[in-house]
Structure 1
Amino acid sequence: METIANTNAMKLNTIKAIGRGDFVNMGPIELRQPIPTRTIKNIDPFILLHHYGPYEISADSNPFDLGPHPHRGFEPITFLIQGEQLHRDSLGNESVVKAGDVQWTTAGRGIIHAEGPRNEFVEKGGTLEGIQLWLNLPAKKKMMQPNYQHEKHENFNVVLSEDRKVEVRVVAGELNDNFGRIQTQTSVNAYIIDVKAGGRFQIEIPKTHQSFVYLLNGSTTINDSEVLELNKNQLIYFNQDGEGISLKGNLDSKLLFLSGEPIDEPIATYGPYVMNTQTELLEAMKDYQMGKMGFLPSK
């Protein structure tokens, strides 16, 4: 469903920090890591953001094939920008995630999953690009039953700017009375935004939410003051002192907008686990070794 947004004057949230999307190595994979960095440790409740690709996948080159691995205590989320990936998990889910789709895994007490390009995609060849986001869970939900959601690109509600040059897909939460299809465990808004050159749009942000916008490609001016560009400033983190932010496309661009209510609890992390204490991390490692998070064979 598509709706047209009305443009009303609003008090803009001021900028708290500006971040980059510099490259890091994760084993054989090179990807951008705008969160965490030296200057932005996390944006509670968002604790990690990886922007992988674009990779040219072929039978001779497939750097992004993640075999079975566990998670506990948070929600690993994938926004697939280009290409396709096969998801498998210890709950018995198996699905092909295509460009524009979103997979939202609630690890809870523990899940094992694997993801990577299908053999057919590798043999055919193509471009793979996506966002991997880690969304924290509060202590009372860290040991909940795990769950998996896969929503297709064409099923998301879309909000259009008045000039029809900005298209916002509402993945989770709400925008202008348009709701996301993803069911969330905490108060979160997640939008994929496509901006054409010259397009303008304003995003309302709940006062209780921390928020940021990340540029995947193109060039966009935020609040008529700061320019997001690839390989330069790619992330803007906002203060909770306004009603929203404004976007203006300098070039055709794609952005990810996220906001959420802070959990404000201690965070203890080790590898694929996000808990509140070191003791809970040790319990997670032991439970995985004992098979309490299920089983997923390699393919």
Structure 2
Amino acid sequence: MENIVMKENEMKTNSIKRVGRSDFVNMGPIRLRQPLPTQNIDMIDPFILLHHYGPYEISERSNPFDLGPHPHRGFEPVTFLVQGEQLHRDSLGNESVVKAGDVQWTTAGRGIVHAEAPTKAFVKKGGTIEGIQLWLNLPSDKKMIQANYQHIKSEDFDIKSSEDGKVITKIIAGHLNEVKGKIKTQTSVNAFMIEAKKGGKETIKFSDSHQAMLYLLKGNVLVNGTDELELNSNQLIEFNSDGEGFTIEAKEDSLLLFLSGEPFKEEVATYGPYVMNTQTELLEAMRDYQMGKMGFLPVS
């Protein structure tokens, strides 16, 4: 799609490369949406995978979202919790309760074992869990760095409000204008959660060296004005790197996740919970996990 015709002093918007669906996939007992990868979009470098899980109704009779100890290596698994409450445990000794609006950013690096599940108190009282799980690749020279874990609470993030006051953008990582994210990143990346009330308008700018995407968790928004696209719930947009940013106008109350990053342009080899550059490195990862080199985490 071509860019909007510019008026004097107007921002040049990024055109839309493609629009992706978010079909359901099964992961063991869990059924969730997978906007990335799809049949048409393999990856958006440096983003490997995007899962939208829930909303699940959790109770003592039904608790499908209980992920026992499992390993990762070579990338950064990130959780944006939209609703509910989860307990995070890992082989570094971290244990924290992640609540709605919080973000947990794990740098798996050379290896980490972690587990995620609703807290026992949450299961007992019952409630809804919903979130986004992102797999952010690490470049080859950082795949074997020391593992690390960051948990930032919702209220600790800085935000940017639109001029009309109807759009709140939470700056999680990277920066938007002069507002910076609290997450310390290994690479050049932006992650914003955008909450828009009906009728709200906002402009989001990002580097033209980044590859970028926008995922709509709920609602309906117009992207780049009437010449571009009306985005519906559970659709993903991939932008071309040919502008300075994009505009949104909420046709109803909406929630969006924006991601952009500097592409690595490296070979990617994946198997299960590992993201490396070669098949040999994947075999080494499996061997190291079996030998306990990624640490240990008992079942709770």
Which residue identity is paired with 2:230? V
How big is the shift at 1:229? 1.2
Task: Identify the residue that residue 221 of structure 1 maps to in structure 2.
Answer: 222
Task: Identify the residue that residue 173 of structure 1 maps to in structure 2.
Answer: 174
How big is the shift at 1:221? 1.0
Task: Identify the residue that residue 182 of structure 1 maps to in structure 2.
Answer: 183
Q: Secondary structure at the match of 2:252?
A: coil
Give the number of equivalent residue pairs.
Answer: 290
Taking the aligned partners of 1:289 and 1:79, their CA distance within structure 2 comes to 29
- 1:1-299 equivalences under 5 Å are 9-224=10-225, 225-230=228-233, 234-299=235-300
Which residue identity is paired with 1:199? G
How big is the shift at 1:9? 2.3
Taking the aligned partners of 2:125 and 2:88, their CA distance within structure 1 comes to 19
With normalisation by structure 2, the TM-score equals 0.96
Question: Which deviations, in whole Å up to 9, do the C-alpha atoms of 1:10-41 show, x marking residues without a partner?
Answer: 00000001001111111110000000001111
Taking the aligned partners of 1:261 and 1:275, their CA distance within structure 2 comes to 18
Taking the aligned partners of 1:291 and 1:23, their CA distance within structure 2 comes to 34
Question: Which deviations, in whole Å up to 9, do the C-alpha atoms of 1:84-135 show, x marking residues without a partner?
Answer: 1000000000000000000000000000000010111001000000000000
Which residue identity is paired with 2:262? E
Which residue identity is paired with 1:222? V
How big is the shift at 1:230? 2.1
Which residue identity is paired with 1:144? I
With normalisation by structure 1, the TM-score equals 0.96
Taking the aligned partners of 1:21 and 1:58, their CA distance within structure 2 comes to 26
Task: Identify the residue that residue 5 of structure 1 maps to in structure 2.
Answer: none
Between the aligned residues of both structures, percent identity stands at 69
Taking the aligned partners of 2:104 and 2:80, their CA distance within structure 1 comes to 7
How big is the shift at 1:208? 0.4
Task: Identify the residue that residue 3 of structure 1 maps to in structure 2.
Answer: none
Q: Secondary structure at the match of 2:266?
A: coil
- 5+ residue gaps in structure 1? 1-7
How big is the shift at 1:242? 0.5
Taking the aligned partners of 1:40 and 1:277, their CA distance within structure 2 comes to 21
Taking the aligned partners of 1:51 and 1:107, their CA distance within structure 2 comes to 20
Taking the aligned partners of 1:134 and 1:143, their CA distance within structure 2 comes to 16
Taking the aligned partners of 1:169 and 1:235, their CA distance within structure 2 comes to 19
- 5+ residue gaps in structure 2? 1-8
